[in-house]
Structure 1
Amino acid sequence: MKGDSLVWVGDNGTREIRGSSGVRRDRYGVVKFPKSMCAVCNNAKSQPFDVAYDRFAAYLAAGGVRGRDGVPLAKIYGETWRQDSRSLARYYGKHFGCRLRQLNMPIPDSLRAFLDGADSMPDVHMALITTDTVHRYARDGLVLSPDFITTDPVRQHIRGFVMASYIASVGVRFQWWAHASAPPGELSQFFDFPTPVINRFADEDAMGSGQTRPSLIRRVLTWRPRRSTEPPRF
């Protein structure tokens, strides 16, 4: 942030967007996604998602979260943390769905069902993360990762994709596998646990490939998505 303006940095350079009217106009097309949802879904239906995100974002923006092992969702949301954590995940699901739409990529059926109230997504893994390079250049900002897309060898079929969104260098990583490429068993999700672990990456390439590094506090951190329904032990 720069005073009362928003500074956007991307592959095509830097754009400075001044004031709330500048955000609404979005003359550079860098703040808002193209319209891809009906008004009811994007407003009334997803309002709980927005409220949950605002509370999560305020907690991250206060600082000090990156150095911890996990994010205390039960502390942020209180007794309703299970419901609110799913609302948070659905906010990010809506965000990643809009990014996929912008890329003309297929929207996973499981993501659509999750946004409509399904309990989870069998072919999607959502995890809390932090990335060293993001922390160095945008520790106080909002950052969107590159989009990582995998295909078959002849590039005819999409096998999966990975993307992330950060607040103050702590974010949510979204990974989808096509049916033939999905790992066996049930994947755990960050929103199932009261204090989900923060997975750590050296840079965005490592984030895209899933190669974590140990935290300074814990010398060993297992990245593989847990297939057990048991909560992690800290």
Structure 2
Amino acid sequence: MSDPLWSDRSTWLRGDDLKAYRVTSSGLCWWCQSAPATTREHKFKRTDLDQMWGDSKYLLWGSSGDDRTIWDSEGFGRLSQIRGPKSDVARFKPSMCLTCNGKRSQSFDESYVTFSRHVWQHMDRLWKAGYFDMSKIYGNEWQSRVLEVARYFAKHCACSMVDAGFEVPQSVIKFLDGETSRLEDMHFVIFKDPQIRRYRRRMKEIGVAAGGLHIEPAAGAVSKSRKCLTGYSCAYLLGFIGVKYYWREGARASDSFYLHQKPRIYRREELPPI
């Protein structure tokens, strides 16, 4: 989707300018809103991190906002070493209780892992593919399983919002609760990123198995009169295959990937408007 949140830099707010729009944490899980928030969701699924680890002693983590990082001379930006999936930089702040981040969302995680393994296994072929056939990944259960994948990403989006100091929309919570099978005010699309693919190919030419996990910088919109968040977008990538999500307050009838047996794989520069 073409992302209007990035279109006009003159309207951007950063740092202290956002204080008026952030909420004070209650210390409770954002999902059930009753139990203490004692667990930390991974920014990337632990199974993906474990797969990348192999026999390496550490992974390189790129960031632009962490003072502990170092500049890499090869132009990859700021890089830091992480030595385990429980590293602070690899997880969001504590925002969920043990039950919600475990038993309640276990089926979301399991369906996502199946999707993730398919992507890693067929990565190079997917560049030329125009769509995913979800029935080949999940069989006759594709409708319910793909819906669970969407709920995994909705949970990820919510954790990202809370990590940034914003309140999770009630529509997202109802979607995770199963009260609705369609999250109309959040749009999800699958895409492929040519820039990351070029990097992957260059690394393979010199014998480096460059997989890579990526989260694009989040962007949001706010209401200056109501002092609250009204839009939020981000993207999560396995190699060059990503899922872009965009929540917009009051939006209706989003046509997201989980509504289709064969959802389209868009090119990054050709994402549809929400």
- Calculate the TM-score normalised by the size of structure 1: 0.77
Evaluate the alpha carbon distance shift between residue 159 and residue 55 of structure 1 in structure 2; reply closer, same or farther with a 3 A threshold. Answer: same
**Alignment length, in residue pairs?**
197
C-alpha deviation, 1:67, in angstroms: 1.9
Q: 1:217-232 counterparts in 2 under 5 A?
A: 223-225=272-274
Kindly indicate whether the alpha-carbon contact (under 8 Å) linking 2:166 and 2:229 is maintained by their aligned counterparts in 1.
no
1:33 maps to: 92
Which structure 1 residue ranges, 4+ long, deviate > 6 Å from structure 2? none
Q: Report the structure number with the largest CA radius of gyration.
A: 2
Query: Which residue is equivalent to 1:16?
Result: 81
Whether the 8 Å CA contact 2:130–2:265 is kept in 1: the answer is yes
Measured in 1, the distance between the counterparts of 2:170 and 2:106 equals: 22
C-alpha displacement at 1:14, in angstroms?
1.2
Which 5+ residue runs of structure 2 have no aligned equivalent? Answer: 1-51, 67-77, 201-209
SS in 1 for 2:255: coil
* Post-superposition offset of 1:106: 2.1
TM-score of the superposed pair, with normalisation by structure 2 = 0.66
1:173 is matched with which residue?
A: 244
State how far apart, in whole Å, the 2-side matches of 1:159 and 1:105 are: 10
Q: Is the 8 A contact 1:128 1:173 kept in 2?
A: yes
Paired position in structure 2 for 1:7: 60
User: Take 2:142 and 2:80, find their aligned partners in 1: how far apart are those partners?
Assistant: 37
Alignment of 1:65-214 (within 5 A): 65-117=126-178, 118-137=180-199, 140-152=211-223, 156-179=227-250, 182=251, 185-202=252-269, 212=270
What SS does structure 1 have at the residue aligned with 2:103?
Answer: helix
CA distance in 1, matches of 2:256, 2:127: 19
The residue that corresponds to 2:117 in the other structure is 58
Name the residue aligned to 2:26: none
Find the counterpart in structure 2 of residue 217 from structure 1: none
Deviation at 1:73, TM superposition (A): 1.2
Q: Which has the higher contact order (CA 8 A, sep 6+)?
A: 2
Q: Deviations over 1:44-81 (max 9, x none)?
A: 11111111111111111112212211112111000000
Secondary structure at the counterpart of residue 119 of structure 1 = coil
Q: Percent same amino acid at aligned positions? A: 27
CA RMSD of aligned residues (A): 2.1
Corresponding residue number in structure 2 for 1:207 = none
Amino acid at match of 1:197: R
Q: Is the 8 A contact 1:142 1:166 kept in 2?
A: yes
Letter of the 1:172 counterpart:
V
Q: State the distance in 2 between where 1:16 and 1:158 align.
A: 33
Deviation at 1:164, TM superposition (A): 0.8
Contact 1:134 1:143 in 2 (8 A): no
